[in-house]
Structure 1
Amino acid sequence: MAKILIAEDEDSLRRFVSRALKMDGHEVDEAVDGAHGLDQLREDTSYDLLLSDIRMPVMDGIELAHTAAEEFPELKILLMTGFAEQRERAETLASVIVDVVPKPFSLPDIRSAVAEALTA
């Protein structure tokens, strides 16, 4: 299974996704914002996937994705957002991310998106 970092500022959603992915056998770590996520990526370079919200305080998911893709070119990146304008901003990242998952999503939706991102 994969090692996944979730960067999401909404506690309940981050924990929900983390539990679901752990049930699928993945090793999952959590970050409360993009800056925290980037620190974790730099401390542990063995992540297979970064699953990040786009709209977060301190450092948003767009900036996190750009920086992570530059520093860790083998890392797969999957973004999440509930805002249409944020999804449009993510289109500029097409070369560095796998996809953008729209919120709200169901448990099967996020599991499927993660599975597809890991095999992409």
Structure 2
Amino acid sequence: MARILLAEDDQSVRAFVAQALAMDGHEVVETEDGGLAAEALIEQEGRFDLLLSDIKMPVMDGIALALTTADQYPEITILLMTGFADQRERAHGLEALVHDVIPKPFELAVLRDKVAEALDGRPAEVVSLADRAANDE
């Protein structure tokens, strides 16, 4: 299976995501912020298949981490997560670098599907915030 670098500052979300991905057979390296994730990338010489990162984190946010990762290790697929609409909008211009942005809260099945999709290289289903709002009504 895949080797995944997880950057998430919320300990309970990080543990939940790491456990779910490990149950799917993935090796997960957990970090609590973007700065530590960037250090892990260097220490591991970029030997990850996927970076799964929250956007809003202390030290280095997920956008900066995604930009650094894409620049130094372009072969790593990047998947972001956020619970904030304004943060999702910040990631909007990064389609060439980021596979998708998963809105929080998410169901476990959605997370697993998005990770599998990213690792398989399938294109993400891009849904605008306006479309999401219309679907929620």
- Normalised by the size of structure 2, how large is the TM-score? 0.87
Q: CA deviation at 1:46?
A: 1.1
Greater relative CO, 1 or 2 (CA 8 Å, sep 6+): 1
- For residues 35-59 of structure 1, the C-alpha deviation after alignment (integer angstroms, 9 at most, x for no partner) is 0000001111210000000000000
Output aligned runs, 1:91-106, within 5 Å: 91-106=92-107
Q: Which residue of 1 aligns with 2:6?
A: 6
Q: Partner residue of 1:59?
A: 60
Offset at 1:92?
A: 1.4
Q: How does 1:41-60 map to 2 (within 5 A)?
A: 41-44=41-44, 45-60=46-61
Question: What do the CA deviations read for 1:74-115 (whole angstroms, capped 9, x no partner)?
Answer: 000000000001000001111101000000001111001100
- Identity of matched residues, %: 59
Partners of 1:111 and 1:41 lie apart in 2 by 23
Give the paired residue count: 120
Q: Secondary structure at the match of 1:59?
A: coil
CA RMSD of aligned residues (A): 0.5
Distance 1:33 1:92 in 2: 22
SS at match of 1:46: coil
Q: Distance in 2 between matches of 1:74 and 1:49?
A: 9
Q: Give the whole-Å Cα distance in 1 for the aligned partners of 2:68 and 2:15.
A: 24
After the TM superposition, which parts of structure 1 deviate over 2 Å for at least 4 consecutive aligned residues? Answer: none
Determine the structure 1 residue equivalent to 2:37.
37
Q: Distance in 1 between matches of 2:63 and 2:26?
A: 24
Code of the aligned partner of 2:105:
P
Aligned residue for 2:91, secondary structure, equals helix
Q: Which residue of 1 aligns with 2:125?
A: none
Rounded to whole Å, the distance in 2 between the matches of 1:66 and 1:93 is: 9
CA distance in 2, matches of 1:73, 1:50: 11
